[in-house]
């Protein structure tokens, strides 16, 4: 697989671990105090995530073998489907949540998943443009 796809998946894994830790803090706090934790990703983490997404929009040209490119298409489609499922899950859960703080937490998680979707989608579009160009479908 391509180095940029591997990097994308490594970043997503790191972000998802952060989501797990975030949710775990809330679970512990709710269990111990009955209140949501005062936990959120630091602003610099959110800015870093936004920077990575913006960086993908700039993109860098890579000339991988077509076999690598086509397997990356499948991986990116699967990652996009997973992020979409989680975004929808958090969004639906937020709509049914009566507690305003819980709703805010779930909406935040839904927004994070939307950011992941943008990140994956941009990588997919870069890969698609390169594939079309290599296959001779112009203008790309």
Residue 128 CB neighbour total at 10 angstroms: 14
Specify if 17 maps to a domain: yes
Q: Which of 20-24, 30-34, 89-93 has the highest mean pLDDT?
A: 89-93
Specify if 139 maps to a domain: no
Give the pLDDT of residue 41: 53
CA angle (68 as vertex; 62, 73 as ends), nearest 5: 90
Specify if 129 maps to a domain: yes
CA angle (118 as vertex; 113, 119 as ends), nearest 5: 95
Task: Please provide the size of the chain in residues.
Answer: 140
Say whether the peptide bond before residue 139 is cis (omega within 30 degrees of 0).
Answer: yes
Give the pLDDT of residue 91: 96
pLDDT in tens, 82-129: 999 999 999 999 999 999 999 999 999 999 999 999 999 998 888 888
Domain limits for position 105 = 3-134
Is the pTM value of this prediction over 0.75? no
């Amino acid at each position: 697989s391509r180095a940029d796809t591997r990097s994308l998946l490594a970043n997503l894994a790191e972000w998802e671990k952060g989501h797990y830790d975030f949710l775990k803090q809330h679970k512990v706090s709710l269990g111990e105090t009955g209140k949501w934790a005062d936990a959120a990703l630091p602003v610099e983490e959110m800015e870093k995530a936004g920077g990575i997404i913006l960086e993908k929009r700039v993109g860098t040209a890579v000339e991988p073998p077509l076999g690598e490119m086509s397997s990356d298409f499948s991986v990116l489609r699967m990652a996009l489907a997973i992020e979409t499922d989680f975004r929808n899950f958090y969004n639906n859960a937020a709509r049914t949540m009566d507690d305003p703080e819980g709703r805010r937490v779930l909406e935040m998680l839904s927004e994070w998943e939307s950011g992941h979707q943008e990140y994956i989608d941009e990588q997919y579009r870069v890969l698609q443009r390169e594939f079309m160009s290599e296959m001779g479908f112009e203008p790309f």
